[in-house]
């Protein structure tokens, strides 16, 4: 089963939820989906750090 984080409702939902354009995922577990925003922020920071190293 896949889980998603809905950006409109700020809630975790199963596959049968809002449109994909309004959510993040899929995630393998409900817990991963609960931390979707934190994970996205972490990945963005890592990407930005790598980008700065390349300059």
For the segment 15-55, what is each residue's pLDDT rounded down to a tens digit?
Answer: 999 999 999 999 999 999 999 999 999 999 999 998 888 77
Tell me the β-bridge partners of 24.
5
pLDDT value of position 43: 94
User: Roughly how many angstroms between the first and final C-alpha of the chain, as a whole number?
Assistant: 41
Q: Which two tokens stand for residue 27?
A: 């995630």
Q: What is the pTM of this model?
A: 0.82
**Residue 6: pLDDT above 90?**
yes
Angle, vertex CA 39, rays to CA 14 and CA 25, nearest 5: 30
Q: Which two tokens stand for residue 54?
A: 């390349």
Residue 48 CA neighbour count, 13 Å, CB half: 6
pLDDT value of position 54: 77
With beta carbons less than 8 A apart as the criterion, state whether 34 and 13 touch: no
């Amino acid at each position: 089963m896949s889980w998603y984080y809905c950006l409109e409702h700020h809630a975790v939902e199963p596959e049968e939820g809002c449109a994909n354009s309004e959510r993040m995922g899929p995630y393998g577990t409900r817990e991963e989906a609960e931390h979707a925003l934190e994970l996205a922020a972490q990945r963005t920071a890592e990407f930005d750090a790598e980008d700065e190293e390349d300059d």
